[in-house]
Amino acid sequence: MALTDSTIRRSQPFGFLRDLATRWDVIAFIVVIGLIAFLGEAARNLFIPLAQLDVTPISLDPIHLPEYAARTTLRMLAALALSMLFTLTYATWAAKSERAGKFLVPLLDILQSVPILGFISITVVFFMSLAPGRVLGAEFASIFAIFTSQAWNMAFSFYQSLRTIPNELSEAADSFRLSPWMRFWQLEVPFGLPALVWNMMMSMSGGWFFVVASESISVGHTTVALPGVGSYIALAIEQKNLVAIGWAIGAMLLVILLYDQLLFRPLVAWVDRFRVEQEPGVRVPQSWALTMMRRSRLIQGGKLAFQSFVLWTSRAVPRRDAAAAAAAAMQAPLRRLDLLWLALIVAAVVLGLWHIVAVVVTHTSPHEALYVSGLALITMFRVFFLIGLASLVWVPIGVWVGLRPRAAQIVQPIAQFMAAFPANLLFPLAVFGIVSWKLNPDIWLSPLMILGTQWYILFNVIAGASALPAELRYASENFGVKGWLWWRKVALPGVLPFYVTGAITASGGSWNAAIVAEIATWGSTTIEAKGLGSYIADATTAGDFHRIVLGIGTMSLFVVLINRIFWRPLYYYAERKYRLT
């Protein structure tokens, strides 16, 4: 990849002296050195003993906020890197091996439906034992929790990309005899990148939502508060400090703005070239940070080195020659391996079932199970009702905005930002309100579930309405289609596929949010709404392992079933009937 760039540069030998450093070099230098210093400082803190955390407890003094914000961000980025690693391996394995895929893909679907908090409560003890007595163990647990909120949708997106690589591109790679390693880096990863970056952004937003839960860990007797924005907020809630909440919101806004500008904007602008289908007239995404990286010789040098390294790896990895590959393919029907694999899966399923039975049946009464199912129904009703309510509000607004390009340009980024903003920051305010006005928590806690997820409905509908072909709109105007008829026959069918996509995302997010949203505390006041979410949250606080498993299992089951029975058929129906191509 590096060849053209380097050849052009080489042809002007004293180019480097002519201008010692461009202004982009200066900016790049500051940014890079700043990052290195920050990473070093943060890493140093990992190895201090756990007891140290008690000596220097979280302080609500805003002067500490920059450090807290930095450490939280670092945790999230580490989790993102882990998710990336997971994606590139797990999804590739699932896509390449038919045998493995049969099992790995449904597994991913299940993992996706397990509420994130569930992972924390189950894994924290394990991670703490990895580095006993050190902060590192708690950090592991926290990062793993954030990882579980980021990884699944990224893996899914990459898996889908791998399965939809255009036939001719794949044949071209074969016919020029790219080794599997080279094929992976030159064809498969680039092809999957655009979708992957989009999912990374969604994952990052998802991660913020659980930052409080993942930093201020409290499962049974284990209580750890890692320095970070999440712990800061937890403490502010405990001390009923509204001002501190305000500071935290400010810090988070700033952090979100920063990584949006420094990380995601450049990424989005950069991956634009990896799109295979190029629709003309679509605005090319811009980013000042990417411009900086492209113009700065310092960063270009780094890029060249990296590219040479990638090329070097594709040379270093030994390649099987065609004859050997063919010989291997000749023994194709690996029946025995198939059987072995099947046996492994069956064994895993039996073992899993046995465990579930052992845990749930022996320790919980049928009555309890029935009760939990009832709670799940309550939560389900809440989710559907709220999605319906949000749709009533946002679909008309979204259509209105989407049909006006000017308005869409203003509203769309705001909607996306709102989706990235962790809505749980507003929870304390809501609790404050509910307590002061003595409102019914069963009703008034519910809106919190959809606070962060409703935006997916809005910005998908906006996208759908802007994609409505102008000619269709002219035609309906021409024939005098107006009012309710216009909504029924033109606008609503036109945006339906987009709306369904948004509603699916919102629904999944709301289920996840239920655990945080059905129970809320403010100082010593705890208010609770009856539902599966608060059941799991209660069980987590109590450290009741069996109830946690029961609650989480029920929630996963409900989410998977609702997806299979309701959302998926609806999605395919909308795609088939209403997708304008």
Partner 1 sequence: MNSSPLLQCTDVRKAFPKPDGGELLVLEGMNLELHAGQIVGLLGRSGSGKSTLLRLIAGLSEPSAGQLSYLGAPIFGPAAGIAMVFQSFALFPWLTVFENVALGLEAQRMAKPEIRKRSLAAIDLIGLDGFESAYPRELSGGMRQRVGFARALVVHPNILLMDEPFSALDVLTAETLRTDFLDLWSEGRMPIKGVILVTHNIEEAVLMCDRILVFGSNPGRILSEIKVTLPQPRNRLDPSFRELVERIYVEMTARPKGAAAVGRQERFPGLGIGSVLPPVSSNLFAGLIEAVAASPFNGTADLPKIASDLQMEIDELFPVAETLQMLRFAELEGGDLKLTEEGLAFAQADLDERKRIFLRHLLTYVPLAAHIRRVLDERESHQARKSRFIDELEDFMNEDAAEQTLSAVVQWGRYAEAYAYQDDNAMFSLENPT
**Taking CA 190 as the corner, what is the angle to CA 184 and CA 196, rounded to the nearest 5 degrees?**
110
> Least Å distance between CB 10 and partner 1?
11
Torsion-angle region of residue 133: left (phi > 0), alpha (psi -120 to 50) or beta? left
Closest CA to 132 of 145, 120, 141, 122: 141
> Least Å distance between CB 335 and partner 1?
16
Residue with tokens 């670092």: 74
Query: Is residue 309 classed exposed, middle or buried when 0-12, 13-18 and 19+ CB atoms within 10 A define those classes?
Result: exposed
Nearer Cβ to partner 1 (7/524)? 7
> Least Å distance between CB 520 and partner 1?
46
> Least Å distance between CB 415 and partner 1?
29
Nearer Cβ to partner 1 (477/575)? 575
- Measured CA to CA, the distance from residue 487 to residue 474 in angstroms comes to 15
**For residue 225, what is the enclosing H or E element?**
strand 222-225
Neighbours of 474 (CB within 10 A): 10
Q: Which residues bind partner 1 (CB under 8 A)?
A: 1, 3-4, 7-8, 166, 168-169, 171-172, 174-179, 182, 186-187, 190, 273-276, 278, 311, 314-315, 322-323, 325-327, 577
DSSP E strands in 412-553: the ranges are: 519-522, 525-528
Q: At 324, list the tokens.
A: 């050997």
Query: Is residue 405 classed exposed, middle or buried when 0-12, 13-18 and 19+ CB atoms within 10 A define those classes?
Result: exposed
Nearer Cβ to partner 1 (164/440)? 164
Nearer Cβ to partner 1 (9/530)? 9
> Least Å distance between CB 23 and partner 1?
24
Residues in the chain: 581
Nearer Cβ to partner 1 (104/269)? 269
Nearer Cβ to partner 1 (195/430)? 195
Nearer Cβ to partner 1 (47/306)? 306
> Least Å distance between CB 274 and partner 1?
5
- Measured CA to CA, the distance from residue 364 to residue 413 in angstroms comes to 48
The angle, 0 to 180 degrees and rounded to 10, between the axes of the packed helices 116-130 and 532-542 is: 20
Nearer Cβ to partner 1 (47/176)? 176
**How is the chain split among helix, strand and coil, in percent rounded to 5?**
80, 5, 15
> Least Å distance between CB 261 and partner 1?
24
Partners of 309 in the β-ladder: none
- Measured CA to CA, the distance from residue 394 to residue 399 in angstroms comes to 8
Nearer Cβ to partner 1 (172/353)? 172
> Least Å distance between CB 176 and partner 1?
4
> Least Å distance between CB 281 and partner 1?
13
Nearer Cβ to partner 1 (3/30)? 3
> Least Å distance between CB 282 and partner 1?
11
- Measured CA to CA, the distance from residue 309 to residue 429 in angstroms comes to 51
Contact at 8 Å (CB) between 252 and 425?
yes
The angle, 0 to 180 degrees and rounded to 10, between the axes of the packed helices 98-113 and 135-163 is: 120
